[in-house]
Amino acid sequence: MSDPGKDNFGLSKIGQIAVPVRDVDRAIAFYRDILGMRFLFKAPPGLGFFDCDGVRLLLDAAAEAQGKSYSSIIYYTVPDLQAAFEKLTARGVEFEEKPKLVAKFPDYELWMAFFRDPDSNLLALMSEVRA
């Protein structure tokens, strides 16, 4: 195994994140209509794609059909966490709890709020509030 410091190689840019879903049409409606994300296209078998400021989000019903579903938490950065929380709550999103402070740093505070999509995948809003 090579030392990443010797050849300056390191992974940094995410190109796509896949999230397993049961019903791609229902998931597309949630991410597009409720969360307001930019829908790109739908492709067979059961795939839906969104643009997240240059990173693609893939909703994958085919993965769910394989019998195993695993998901990473996707953290969406927002400039005003309380405003985003209120807007999504008004659209019917049920949050696990109200936005809360998770860490204090010398020059900012990190705030988060967690919620789930229709397939129970955990999602989060995060905001760095300058001190």
Distance separating alpha carbons of residues 16 and 82, to the nearest angstrom:
27
Lowest mean pLDDT among 4-13, 35-44, 105-114: 4-13
What average pLDDT does the segment 62-76 reach? 72
97-108 tens-digit pLDDT = 999 999 899 999
- Is the model's pLDDT at 33 over the cut of 80? yes
For the cut 60, the answer to whether the pLDDT of residue 2 exceeds it is no
Look at strands 74-77 and 122-130 and give their pairing. Answer: parallel
Same CATH topology for 14-68 and 73-131: the answer is yes
Other beta carbons within 10 Å of 58: 17
Pick the more confident residue, 64 or 13: 13
- Ordered by start, the domain boundaries in the chain are 14-68, 73-131
Q: Does domain 73-131 have CATH number 3.10.180.10?
A: yes
> Going by C-beta distance under 8 Å and a sequence separation of 6 or more, which residues neighbour residue 126?
75, 76, 77, 78, 81, 110, 111, 112
Fold of the 14-68 domain = 2,3-Dihydroxybiphenyl 1,2-Dioxygenase; domain 1 (3.10.180)
